């Protein structure tokens, strides 16, 4: 048995699991996105009615979802980059501890983080209590919770580890001698940062943006619990697979958002390439 045959045999189990849990469902839902529902029963067909309904009824919600996802992803990248930069260059002796803290936060439950922010931002939460105790406000600021800001902060907290880890991994490839050589050649700290650190971390930044963007664009629990009247496209897709039993429409809505999300991530990647060449 040659090495190529052995590699095929060793990777076959994982390939089968991947095909069964991802490829097959993906193809199935893509096919039924062209079907129709007649009296709560899916009927095979070749129709674009679901895609037309998506573009006719849910454009505003889709645009709002893309806007909120982009803002959340950009903020997550910025915060994650600063954290990774401090761990890599400012506090290298404590880098392992700082990254360990990030890893520990990943084990915290998703709902636990949401309810933690409800406790912090609520009318009787920690933040309002502190503001009232310090005399900054005379009554609780109700706008802190059930607002776009609450959704962004909660999703930033959840997505931050997925941003820090790829960015820090990219920064590990930047050697100190490269920065020292740039300074010896007359580069300013900002110059060495923009010409060495940023270009070398491009892959990590794009990966971090992709994770944060996709998590936000597909989420529906966070807007429901801390967003109040904030409705994302996920809040409209989920009922299609539940109470309304309209799998074809839900699949069509999902694939439209998936296509748009891939386009946004691609454009962000091209933007990073352009910025690194400037």
pLDDT at 2: 65
pLDDT of residue 231: 87
Q: What is the pLDDT of residue 179?
A: 83
CATH number of 60-277: 1.10.3720.10
Task: Identify the bridge partners of residue 43 per DSSP, sorted by sequence position.
Answer: 36
Burial 70-98 (b: 16+ CB within 10 A, else e): bbbbebbbebbbebbbebbeeeeeebeeb
* Local structure of 43: helix, strand or coil: strand
**pLDDT band at residue 185 under the 50/70/90 scheme:** confident
* pLDDT band at 176; cut points 50, 70, 90: confident
Q: Is the pLDDT of residue 50 over 60?
A: yes
Strand 42-43 and strand 36-37: pairing? antiparallel
Burial class (CB in 10 A: 0-12, 13-18, 19+), 17: exposed
Q: What percent of the chain has pLDDT over 90?
A: 54
pLDDT at 4 over 80: no
Residue whose token pair is 């839902």: 29
Rounded distance between C-alpha atoms, residue 61 and residue 231, angstroms = 7
Is 1's pLDDT higher than 60?
no
Helix (H) or strand (E) holding 171: helix 148-171
Q: Which of 223, 207, 179 is nearest to 269 (CA)?
A: 207
Sequence spans of domains, the chain: 60-277
User: How far is residue 21's CA from residue 19's CA, in Å, rounded to a whole number?
Assistant: 6
Higher pLDDT, 145 or 267: 267
Token pair 């109700």: residue: 142
The residue with tokens 């809505």 is: 253
Angle at 55 between CA 50 and CA 60, to 5 degrees: 135
Four-CA torsion 51, 53, 55, 60, nearest 10 degrees: -140
Locate 54 and state its tokens. Answer: 């998506």
pLDDT at 158: 92
Give dist(CA 181, CA 183) in Å, integer: 5
214-241 pLDDT per residue, tens: 999 999 999 999 988 788 999 999 999 8
Q: What is the pTM of this model?
A: 0.90
Q: How far apart are CA 43 and CA 196, in angstroms?
A: 57
Alpha carbon distances (Å) from 231 to 104, 128, 227, 237? 31, 25, 8, 11
Whether the pLDDT of residue 212 is over 80: the answer is yes
For 219, which DSSP code?
-
pLDDT, the chain, mean = 89
Whether residue 161 contacts residue 151, with contact meaning beta carbons closer than 8 Å, is answered with: no
Tokens standing for 142? 């109700």
| Tens of pLDDT, residues 61-117 | 999 999 999 999 999 999 999 999 999 999 989 999 999 999 888 887 788 889 889
User: 130-171: per-residue pLDDT in tens?
Assistant: 888 888 888 888 888 888 999 999 999 999 999 999 999 999
Instruction: Give, as one character, the DSSP assignment of residue 173.
Output: T
């Amino acid at each position: 048995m040659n090495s190529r045959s052995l590699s095929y045999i060793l990777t076959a189990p994982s390939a089968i699991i991947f095909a069964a849990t991802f490829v097959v469902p993906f193809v199935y839902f893509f096919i039924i996105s062209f079907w129709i529902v007649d009296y709560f029963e899916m009927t095979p067909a070749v129709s674009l009615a679901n895609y037309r309904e998506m573009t006719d009824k849910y454009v505003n919600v889709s645009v709002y979802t893309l806007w909120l996802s982009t803002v959340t992803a950009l903020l997550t990248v910025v915060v994650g980059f600063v954290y990774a930069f401090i761990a890599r260059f400012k506090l290298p002796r404590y880098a392992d501890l700082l990254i360990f803290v990030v890893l520990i936060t990943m084990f915290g439950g998703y709902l636990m983080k949401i309810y933690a922010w409800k406790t912090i931002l609520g009318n009787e939460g920690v933040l309002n209590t502190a503001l009232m105790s310090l005399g900054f406000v005379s009554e609780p600021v109700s706008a802190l919770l059930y607002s776009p800001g609450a959704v962004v902060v909660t999703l930033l907290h959840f997505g931050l580890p997925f941003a820090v880890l790829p960015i820090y991994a990219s920064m590990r490839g930047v050697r100190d001698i490269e920065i020292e050589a740039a300074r010896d050649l007359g580069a300013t700290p900002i110059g060495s940062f923009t010409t060495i650190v940023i270009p070398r971390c491009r892959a990590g930044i794009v990966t971090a943006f992709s994770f944060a963007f996709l998590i936000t664009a597909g989420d529906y629990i966070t807007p429901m619990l801390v967003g109040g009247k904030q409705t994302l496209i996920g809040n409209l897709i989920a009922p299609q697979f539940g109470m309304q039993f309209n799998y074809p429409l839900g699949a069509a809505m999902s694939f439209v958002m998936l296509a748009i999300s891939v386009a946004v991530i691609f454009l962000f990647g091209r933007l990073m390439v352009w910025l690194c060449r400037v």
